[in-house]
């Protein structure tokens, strides 16, 4: 395939920025780059424009850096809510993708962000809040809080029933307490009887003493 060398006049992702001299397929340059004015052929006269293109590139990059820095500060204060389908137990069906987050940013805050700038180390598969890293610029990174909520209400788990062993232990404890209660009652009842039996004995002694005198 024939190649040709061109000077880029615009930033082309994956190819280069303004003033870069790159080799591309001749058909690509002829059918796309030249008609769209994204590049010019490498000639002596066109080389004179390289300095102007470098200045244009520097201004663009500075603008992008400032814009992304401000965006990073702004999104750090936001909470992007993503609603998903989940079971009654809270288990999600599927996962949250970068595209879903980008769509919600546009819908909720009117922020247009390429999904490629949303960096998910691991797929989000659980409800709740998650912190997502944003690669906004080569020199700018940010974070965004994403709250994943269920479209359907979550049913609270029912209280667990006591196991058979625990029930037996509880019954045994009650039985022991009842027995202790009964024994304590018996002791209390016996005490006044003993006191009553003491009185006739003292009276008999006093009577014998009086006769002896």
CATH code of 75-150, in short, is 3.10.430.100
> What is the value of pTM for the model shown?
0.61
What are the boundaries of each domain within the chain? 3-72, 75-150, 163-213
Which tokens is 141 given?
């990174």
Which tokens is 131 given?
């912190």
150 phi and psi, to 5 degrees? -85, 140
**Structure confidence at residue 127 (pLDDT):** 94
Nearest CA-CA partner of 92 in 147, 149, 145, 132: 149
Can you tell me the distance from the alpha carbon of 34 to that of 46, in angstroms, rounded to the nearest whole number? 13
SS3 for 94? coil
Domain at 3-72, CATH homologous superfamily = Ribosomal protein L9, N-terminal domain (3.40.5.10)
| Mean pLDDT, the chain cut into blocks of 10 residues (213 residues total) | 90 92 94 94 86 93 96 96 90 93 96 94 91 94 96 68 59 56 51 49 57 53
**Structure confidence at residue 195 (pLDDT):** 46
Name residue, tokens 């293109």: 53
């Amino acid at each position: 395939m024939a190649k040709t060398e061109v000077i880029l006049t615009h930033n082309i992702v994956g190819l280069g920025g303004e003033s870069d001299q790159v080799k591309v397929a001749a058909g690509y340059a002829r059918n796309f780059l030249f008609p769209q004015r994204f590049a010019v052929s490498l000639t002596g006269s066109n080389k004179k424009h390289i300095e102007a293109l470098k200045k244009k590139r520097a201004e663009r990059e500075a603008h992008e850096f400032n814009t992304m820095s401000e965006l990073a500060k702004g999104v750090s204060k936001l909470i992007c809510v993503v609603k998903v389908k989940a079971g009654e137990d809270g288990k999600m069906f599927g996962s949250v993708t970068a595209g879903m987050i980008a769509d919600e940013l546009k819908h909720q805050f009117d922020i247009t962000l390429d999904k490629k700038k949303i960096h998910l180390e691991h797929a989000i598969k659980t409800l709740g809040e998650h912190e997502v890293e944003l690669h906004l610029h080569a020199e700018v990174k940010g974070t965004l809080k994403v709250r994943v909520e269920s479209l359907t209400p979550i049913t609270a788990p029912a209280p667990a029933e006591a196991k058979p062993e625990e029930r037996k232990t509880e019954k045994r404890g009650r039985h022991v307490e009842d027995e202790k209660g009964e024994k304590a009652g018996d002791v209390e009842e016996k005490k006044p009887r003993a006191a009553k039996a003491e009185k006739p004995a003292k009276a008999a002694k006093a009577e014998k003493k009086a006769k002896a005198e």
